[in-house]
């Protein structure tokens, strides 16, 4: 008998509408029906979850840029590390994510890719956040914009090496952060586009004209807007200016109030709107652990309060939780919960080409559901129909 779930009486943020006093019916891993309680279906044999109008049922969040959490890191290249991430992320409403690598030696990157591919094939299971692919961040970046990526391991963009890595990853590399202005950068960008991989400009020192050429070559994404890129100058719009002005580029943004000032989050939102942005955490292993000294991509990271930095003060990833990015985005910009769902669920699913099963609440899609209260705190998370977290 297939496991059935019936969430009732909540405000449901469905794909096409908001249903006050609505329900969601789940069978196995899928949503089978949604609607108003006035047209309640037969729920015989279902586990009934009684909610109320103060609860919002929203689609699970998709974090397409995350390195680690709770002491684990994708670069550890172990099943345990990915398992730890998959187990803790539903607490913040994240139901799927791209395992994100770092600029490291070729061997270490390859090990992390093989490990993630193996995990996706054999260890993804309902009740845990799903690893939906890999985000290769570096090593094809600009030495001038290394940020917390280890400068010793930066390499020129290289199609042959990428092919080898994609083979090691069993085709699961879905997104690549690169500096297209570097030698062979435009060639790699065009190759990625041709092979259905999202090419993202990031850790880049490109000037406006170089970004324009890169967009023509196939850039459709920008990695953590404003961070690790040439900023806006009134005589040279830089990477940040170019991606804000081109609607074909979807911008990631780290909304923790540290990586980007609240005013600049608002500025970006005014330019891109909820259709042009995606909320990410860029979190590292220190997330969920508190203050201390940690490791990221072979470098020491000091965590104090809400901030993670290298010894020289360079920001080194974040310890942000996606549920907090949601709250801060609403606070900084005055956007609606619908807007946040766009940026946290729909846009990443659309960008990765998985809208047929993720990114919104609709019959036939994966039952990746988050129940929020009026303070936007996570009350429950379901990953593919199975309870993954309950407050």
Please count the other Cβ atoms lying within 10 Å of the Cβ belonging to residue 161: 17
CA–CA separation, 283 and 258 (whole Å) = 13
CA–CA separation, 139 and 142 (whole Å) = 9
CA–CA separation, 285 and 217 (whole Å) = 34
CA–CA separation, 15 and 13 (whole Å) = 7
CA–CA separation, 391 and 368 (whole Å) = 17
Is residue 169 a known part of a binding site?
Answer: no
Q: Which residues of 65-92 are buried (b: 16+ CB within 10 A; e: fewer)?
A: bbbbbbbbbbbbbbeebbbbbbbbbbbb
Q: Calculate Rg over the CA atoms of the chain.
A: 20
339 catalytic per annotation: no
Please give the backbone phi and psi of residue 213, each rounded to the nearest 5 degrees, phi first: -65, -40
Is residue 224 a known part of a binding site?
Answer: yes
Please give the backbone phi and psi of residue 35, each rounded to the nearest 5 degrees, phi first: 170, -175
Q: Where are the alpha helices (DSSP H) in the chain?
A: 79-88, 106-122, 159-168, 185-194, 208-217, 238-245, 262-272, 322-333, 337-341, 347-351
Is residue 228 a known part of a binding site?
Answer: yes
Under 8 Å between Cβ of 240 and 203: no
Q: 282, 324, 366, 368: which one is catalytic?
A: 282
Is residue 352 a known part of a binding site?
Answer: no
Is residue 117 a known part of a binding site?
Answer: no
DSSP 229: B
Decide: helix, strand or coil at residue 52. Answer: coil
Binding residues for Zn(2+): 137, 203, 224
Q: Which residues are catalytic?
A: 282
Binding residues: 137, 148, 203, 224, 227-228, 235, 259, 315-317
Binding residues for substrate: 148, 227-228, 235, 259, 315-317
């Amino acid at each position: 008998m297939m496991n059935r779930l019936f969430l009732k009486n909540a405000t449901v943020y469905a794909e096409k509408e908001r249903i006050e006093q609505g329900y969601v019916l789940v069978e196995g891993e899928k949503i089978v029906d949604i609607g108003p309680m006035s047209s309640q279906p037969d729920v015989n044999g279902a586990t009934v979850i009684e909610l109320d109008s103060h609860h919002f049922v929203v689609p699970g969040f998709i974090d397409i840029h995350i390195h680690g959490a709770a002491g684990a890191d994708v670069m550890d290249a172990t099943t345990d590390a990915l398992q730890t991430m998959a187990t803790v992320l539903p607490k913040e409403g994240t139901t799927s994510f791209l395992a994100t690598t770092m600029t490291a030696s070729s061997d270490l990157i390859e090990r992390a890719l093989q490990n993630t591919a193996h995990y996706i094939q054999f260890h993804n299971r309902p009740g845990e956040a799903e690893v939906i692919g890999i985000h290769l961040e570096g090593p094809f970046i600009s030495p001038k914009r290394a940020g917390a990526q280890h400068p010793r391991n930066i390499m020129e963009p290289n199609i042959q090496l990428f092919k080898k890595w994609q083979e090691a990853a069993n085709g699961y590399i879905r997104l690549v952060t690169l500096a297209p202005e570097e030698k062979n950068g435009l060639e790699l960008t065009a190759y990625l586009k041709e092979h259905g991989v999202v090419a993202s400009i990031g850790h880049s020192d490109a000037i406006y004209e170089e970004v324009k050429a890169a967009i023509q070559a196939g850039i459709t994404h920008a990695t953590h807007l404003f961070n690790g890129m040439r900023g806006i100058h009134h005589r040279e719009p830089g990477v940040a200016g170019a991606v804000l002005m081109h609607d074909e580029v979807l911008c990631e943004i780290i909304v923790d109030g540290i990586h980007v000032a609240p005013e600049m989050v608002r500025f970006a939102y005014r330019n891109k709107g909820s259709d042009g942005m995606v909320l990410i955490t860029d979190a590292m292993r220190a997330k969920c652990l508190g203050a201390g000294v940690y490791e990221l991509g072979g470098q020491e990271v000091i965590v104090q309060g809400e901030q993670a930095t290298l010894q020289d003060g360079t920001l080194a990833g974040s310890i942000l939780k996606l549920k907090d990015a949601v709250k801060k985005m609403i606070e900084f910009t005055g956007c609606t919960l619908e807007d946040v769902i766009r940026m946290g669920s729909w846009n990443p699913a659309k960008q990765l080409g998985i809208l047929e099963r993720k990114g919104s609440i609709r019959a036939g899609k994966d039952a990746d559901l988050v129940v929020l209260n009026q303070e936007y705190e996570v009350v429950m998370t379901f990953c593919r129909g199975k309870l993954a977290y309950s407050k």
